[in-house]
Each structure stands twice: as structure tokens, then as C-alpha cells.
Amino acid sequence: MLGKSDLHTHTKESDGALSAEQLIERAKKKGLKAISITDHDTINGYKKARPAANEAGIELIPGIEITALWNKREVHILAYLFDTENPKLLALLKRQRLARIKRMRDIVEVLRGQGLDISLDEVRAESGTGSPGRPHAASVLISKGYVASVAEAFIRYLSSEKLKGIRTDYATVEEVVKIVKEAHGVLSLAHPGPLYSQKEINTLLEFGIDGIECIHPSHNFNLQRSFTKMAESRHLLITGGSDFHGKRKSEYDPYFGIVTLGDKHLASMKRLAQRRKTEQKS
């Protein structure tokens, strides 16, 4: 049966606004055949969504958006179809969560040094059971009246440029690629259009990333076509999704159910994951 898939969504387990169950309900209303919850550095949302997805008749693809380090920069890598019980992968996610908490502690100290009344406890309360990130710090700044929007919070206080002096302990791109492949998963470079030059994309792909997120709201038609041609010419996977967060002011949320991936691309991802699983058993 033909259908549409959204392989880039977030829940409140990272920086989304909806619970995993609410996201599945929304996906059913949009008529999606398959969905992947790609929360930042955690699969808690995926695990919580499984019963709801089964009941709704929606295929739930194991997914995660992993923050990796490369050239003193953060790189977001989407991983799919991995063994969710793989010990090395679970150890990586634990390490990533600790790195996120440490980074947020340092961010809070920088903000406090600028005279802002904010604490790590407030940010963690905002993130709930999810991984703390800059959007949660932005929410605290909004609630205290320092800024009027998430965009303003990032421009004034939370951009990578503003926080470039903070050291992070995330895994390297090489480590992420190795561990996800050992868990027979597949990897895709997340929303490269707004982030990297062509030369940087070429370098990142050399680490063994399997595909490119060609289909994303930040990519206009020409950019999407360009990335698709690049992926096809290099025999790479093509992935895509809406980057849905469930927040009223999110620029990407209107694309949920619209920016989707076709069956043939999802089938290619599954074939590669199955091949890795078979090779490891042999």
C-alpha cells in the first residue's frame, strides 16, 4: 500500500510540545502511513509511542537525532532502524544525556554572568523527562520576560556564536557512525541546506554517513532537487520529514503531513538496515 512517511518529528521527550501518544494521534489524523520520532539524543519518545502506534495502525520507525562534534561544531545526524536494545548505542545515549546536562549547566552560568536570573533547575523543569536543550532555556527566558520569543532568545543569548566558548562532550561524528552501524542502523545528515557549504557536506559524508535529509522545510524546491541529485549520484539514501515540534510558533509545524517521504526511499533504508543485520549474524 502506498503512503506517506514523516521521518523527522519531535516530542516533549526532547524539545517538542506533544507527548508521544499525542504525536501518533496527530499523525493518524494527517493520514501518515509511517512516522519516526527523532528526539534529540533519546529514544524515550519512541518507546512511549509504540503502543499508540500499534493501535493506530501506523508504522513506527526507530529513530533519533544525535548531536555529534566535528571541527568544533555541532552536527545533527539522524539515525534509523537500529536495534533499540543495543548496549553500545544505549551507552552512547546515556553519555549524550550527561553531556547535554553539563552543557546546559555551563550555558546557565554564562547567562547568569550576563545578569539573567535563571537556574539549571528551571531549565530541567521545562524539559521534564526529556533531554535539556537550548529551546528549554529559551522558554525560561520568555517566561521571565527577558525575551519575547524563542527566535529572540537565540539571537540575543543562545546562538552557537554567543556560546562558542562552551566546551561540549558530545560524541564525535566518527563515533556516532560506528556505533549506529554496529546496531545495524542507517544514518542521514540532517537538514544540511542552512548549515554547511558543499565542501563541508562532502567532508561529513566521507565519515560513512549513509544518506542526506533532502526533503526538509528549510530546503526550497531547487535545494531539495540538488540534494536529491547528489544523493542519487553517490548511491546514498534519501530521507526527509517535517521536523515537527508541535509548537504554535514553530516555522516547520505547518508542514506536518505535507513534507513527507515516499515509499521507495523508506524501502531503501530498510534494505540497508536488514543487510547490516544479516552481515553481523553471518
Coil, helix or strand at residue 56: helix
- Report pLDDT digits (tens) over 173-228: 999 999 999 999 999 999 999 889 999 999 999 999 999 999 999 999 999 999 99
Asked whether 8 and 78 are in contact (CB, 8 A), the reply is yes
Nearest residue to 56 via CA among 82, 89, 21, 81: 21
Question: What confidence score (pLDDT) does residue 248 get?
Answer: 61
41: left (phi over 0), alpha (psi -120 to 50) or beta: left
Question: What confidence score (pLDDT) does residue 141 get?
Answer: 95
Q: Is the pLDDT of residue 269 over 50?
A: yes
- Report pLDDT digits (tens) over 79-92: 999 999 999 999 99
Q: C-alpha angle 272/273/274, rounded to 5°?
A: 90
- Report pLDDT digits (tens) over 4-32: 999 999 999 988 889 999 999 999 999 99
What cell was used for 74? 555541532
- Report pLDDT digits (tens) over 27-60: 999 999 999 999 999 999 999 999 999 999 999 9
Domain-by-domain residue ranges, the chain? 5-86+185-281
Question: What confidence score (pLDDT) does residue 1 get?
Answer: 45
The gap between the terminal CA atoms of the chain, to the nearest Å, is 32
> Hey, which residues does 202 pair with through a beta bridge?
none
Nearest residue to 79 via CA among 39, 134, 130: 39
CB neighbour list of residue 266: distance below 8 Å, 6 or more residues apart: 5, 7, 34, 61
Question: What confidence score (pLDDT) does residue 73 get?
Answer: 87
- Report pLDDT digits (tens) over 110-140: 999 999 999 999 998 888 877 788 888 998 9
**Percent helix, percent strand, percent coil in the chain, to nearest 5:** 45, 15, 40
CB neighbour list of residue 77: distance below 8 Å, 6 or more residues apart: 65, 66, 68, 173, 176, 177, 180, 187, 188, 189, 190, 209
Which helix or strand (DSSP H or E) is residue 189 part of? strand 186-189
Whole-model pTM above 0.75? Answer: yes
Neighbours of 13 (CB within 10 A): 25
Q: Please, what CATH class does the domain formed by 5-86+185-281 belong to?
A: alpha beta
Q: Is the pLDDT of residue 237 over 50?
A: yes
* Parallel/antiparallel/unpaired status of strands 73-80 and 63-70: antiparallel
- The maximal CA–CA distance of the chain, rounded, in angstroms, is 59
Residue position matching grid coordinates 522558554 = 139
CB neighbour list of residue 86: distance below 8 Å, 6 or more residues apart: 179, 182, 183
* Position 2 confidence tier, pLDDT thresholds 50, 70, 90: low
DSSP per residue, 203-243? HHHTTT--EEEEE-TTS-HHHHHHHHHHHHHTT-EEEE---
